[in-house]
Amino acid sequence: MIDKIQALGHAGLTICQHLGLSGIFLFKTLARRPRPGEGFKLLREQIYTVGVLSLLIILVSSLFIGMVIGLQGYNTLQRFGAEQELGQLLALSVTRELGPVVTALLFAGRAGTALTAEIGLMRATDQLESMEMMAVDPLWRIISPRFWAGFISMPLLAMIFNMGAIYGGYLVGVQWLGIDAGSFWSNMQAAVTFRMDVMNGLIKSLVFGFVVTWIAVYQGYFTVPNAAGISSATTKTVVYSSLAILALDFVLTSMMLKGW
Amino acid sequence: MHTDPDILVAARNLSFERSDRLIFSNINLEIHKGKITAIMGPSGTGKTTFLRLISGQLTPSSGSVTVSGIELCRLRLRELYKARRQIGMLFQSGALFTNLNVFENVAFPLREHTQLSEQMVRDLVLIKLQAVGLRGARDLMPSELSGGMARRVAMARALMLDPQLMLYDEPFAGQDPITMGMLLQLIKKLNEALGLTSVIVSHDVQETASIADYIYVIADGKIVGQGTPEELFNNITPAVRQFLRGLPDGAVPFHYPAKDYEEDLLS
């Protein structure tokens, strides 16, 4: 019994320790002095790796998700003779929830794991230590550009996801199932507000981008420097990011619906 | 703090603990300027840890390690990085950046710390690559290099900022005889030509002894022998003799501490 209580206490302390360490790590990363010329070059490279290379999976997924919502929505709405409302259903569900959440989950799987594995491997092969020995700060050179690249890329990817999904729904609803294009678009335009729907979705994706990239770079930086350690760190990135995204989505949605 | 201007690195009453295990216990050693000093000992005695203590990556549990009279582990980040420009370190794995080619790997410290023109960077990198015999390999990626070549590139990179002190972590581990000979010659030549002070951590006895001016043998967290290679080969201390002659059992036991064998099998 005592052992179990002790193990529980130990687990609690370990969690607190990790939270504290990740907070300090984040603070140190954010507090690094920016160097405009070189910093911008590093950031640009990382935006390409983290953001541009994630475009394909985001675009393809968004099209299919939009098409599925189109099909399901049409089948449900036509029972009530409300199939013309498909545009509204599609746009609201995508901009408010699916856009930021699914993009973040895909981003964690595609870019988050890549970040963790890359940084973890650099740790395991002494690349980070050798950088420190050459008097180059890895937090500035490696972590900071990756962190900001994730933070900047996520909302842009979410917006692209929104457009892809709406186009997918349009293809199914209008082009295939024959809903009137005029009512599809005008219903959507009438129902979606920039402040409440698009903007809130954008805020969510900013928060998710921040958290997912933070988790990914933290797990990579503090990985146990061997094959099992890197494997465990990448798994943790996906698990923790997914849980954080879903939990934060609930918190943010409830705050947004209450008008903050 | 020491005052002897000939001493570059000094450990005073150095103790270091990790995970409740005592790695070093009250060690005193000195590394003289311009010399090649080897730190040898069986695997797991903390030789690499000692290099990390010198470079300020680790902090001693008690005592001190100084470089030019300065304790690196006590410095603030900016001063620490400034001090580290005077230290080059060759990692066992080479630790080359896998996304950069040989040229860019060697140019990395210059690009980070200087504002030199591209032509100047090119010339300096080629000079260093020529010194390690790899000027022709400048366009190769690290994955295309053999282990020995990777170490030579890493050596060129470590020398890029013209350090005073070079730390070599197991430079000969896993190398074929030709590469080993090449590395030995390179370490010795560079030490003489550039007026460096070199610290080699290794367990390759004959090879290291052939170029070292002074050797410390560490076992069980203590210095068990020290001297010039000749003095050390005449040393009759059991741990030193066992290590230098490669005897499987002796002062350093073959078996990891465990309970009685018979008792263990029958339990």
Cα distance between residue A43 and residue A24, in whole Å: 22
Amino acid, res. B5: P
Tell me, what CATH number does B212's domain have?
A: 3.40.50.300
Say whether pLDDT at B235 is over 80. Answer: no
CB contact under 8 A, A135 and B113: yes
> B73 and B203: one domain?
yes
Whether B61 contacts B54, CB under 8 Å = no
> Sign of torsion, CA B239 B244 B247 B248?
positive
> B193 and B150: one domain?
no
Cα distance between residue A219 and residue B148, in whole Å: 32
Tally A–B CB contacts below 8 A. Answer: 51
ipTM above threshold 0.85: no
CB contact under 8 A, A134 and B112: yes
- In chain A, where the domains are located: 35-257
Per residue in A127-147, pLDDT (tens digit) is 999 999 999 999 999 999 999
Minimum-distance CB partner of A126 among B87, B91, B108: B91
Give the residue from A65, A42, A37 showing the smallest Cα distance to A167. A65
Minimum-distance CB partner of A133 among B55, B96, B112: B55
Give the residue from B248, B249, B251, B220 showing the smallest Cα distance to B235. B251
Tell me which of A40-44, A153-157, B34-38, B221-225 is least confident: B221-225
Per residue in B71-125, pLDDT (tens digit) is 888 888 889 988 998 999 999 888 999 999 999 999 999 998 888 999 999 999 9
Length of chain A: 260
Residue after which a domain boundary falls, among B158, B180, B199? B158
CB contact under 8 A, A135 and B85: yes
Q: Which tops the pLDDT comparison, B220 or A221?
A: A221
* pLDDT score, position B2: 47
Q: How many CB atoms lie within 10 A of CB A216?
A: 32
CB contacts of A28 in chain B (<8 Å) are: none
E strand or H helix at B127: helix B118-131
Chain B residues with a Cβ under 8 Å from any Cβ in chain A: 55, 57, 77, 81-82, 84-85, 87-89, 91-93, 95-98, 108-109, 112-113, 154, 157-158, 161
Say whether pLDDT at B60 is over 70. Answer: yes
> B129 and B38: one domain?
no
Chain A residues with a Cβ under 8 Å from any Cβ in chain B: 121, 125-127, 129-130, 132-137, 141
> B167 and B150: one domain?
no
> B68 and B178: one domain?
yes
| A195–chain B nearest CA distance, Å | 43
Record the tokens describing residue A42, joined without a space: 């590093």
> B77 and B191: one domain?
yes
> B78 and B176: one domain?
yes
**Ramachandran category for residue B162: left, alpha or beta (phi over 0 → left; psi -120 to 50 → alpha):** left
* pLDDT score, position B3: 59
Cα distance between residue B159 and residue A64, in whole Å: 55
Asked, for residue B55, whether it belongs to a domain, the answer is yes
Of all residues in chain A, the percent with pLDDT exceeding 90 is 85
CB contact under 8 A, A133 and B98: no
* pLDDT score, position B44: 77
CB contacts of B112 in chain A (<8 Å) are: 134-136, 141
Amino acid, res. B234: N
> B102 and B35: one domain?
no
> B59 and B173: one domain?
yes
Question: How many domains does chain B contain in total?
Answer: 2
* pLDDT score, position A48: 95
Q: How many CB atoms lie within 10 A of CB B222?
A: 15
Asked, for residue B136, whether it belongs to a domain, the answer is yes
> B73 and B169: one domain?
yes
Range of the domain at B170: 7-86+163-266
Record the tokens describing residue B56, joined without a space: 């300020």
Say whether pLDDT at B65 is over 70. Answer: yes
* pLDDT score, position B143: 93
CB neighbour list of residue B115: distance below 8 Å, 6 or more residues apart: none
Asked, for residue B1, whether it belongs to a domain, the answer is no
Residue after which a domain boundary falls, among B141, B158, B175? B158
Asked, for residue B91, whether it belongs to a domain, the answer is no
> Which of A133, A137, A140, A146 should we substitute to test contact with B (largest number of B Cβ atoms within 10 Å)?
A133
| B217–chain A nearest CA distance, Å | 25
CB contact under 8 A, B109 and A136: yes
> How much is the average pLDDT of A174-186?
92
CB contact under 8 A, B108 and A134: yes
Residue B249's pLDDT band, with cuts at 50, 70 and 90, is: low
* pLDDT score, position A172: 94
Minimum-distance CB partner of A130 among B77, B81, B95: B95
Minimum-distance CB partner of B91 among A121, A130, A141: A130
Asked, for residue B93, whether it belongs to a domain, the answer is no
User: Rounded mean pLDDT of chain B?
Assistant: 87
Q: Where are the alpha helices (DSSP H) in chain A?
A: 2-30, 36-46, 55-77, 86-93, 99-107, 113-124, 127-133, 138, 144-170, 181-191, 200-221, 227-257
Give the residue from B197, B185, B128, B137 showing the smallest Cα distance to B158. B128
> B218 and B243: one domain?
yes
Nearest CA in chain B to A141: B112
Q: Read out DSSP for B132-181?
A: TT-GGGTT--GGGS-HHHHHHHHHHHHTTT--SEEEEESTTTT--HHHHH
First-residue to last-residue Cα distance in chain B: 55
> B104 and B82: one domain?
no
Say whether pLDDT at B160 is over 50. Answer: yes
* pLDDT score, position B45: 80
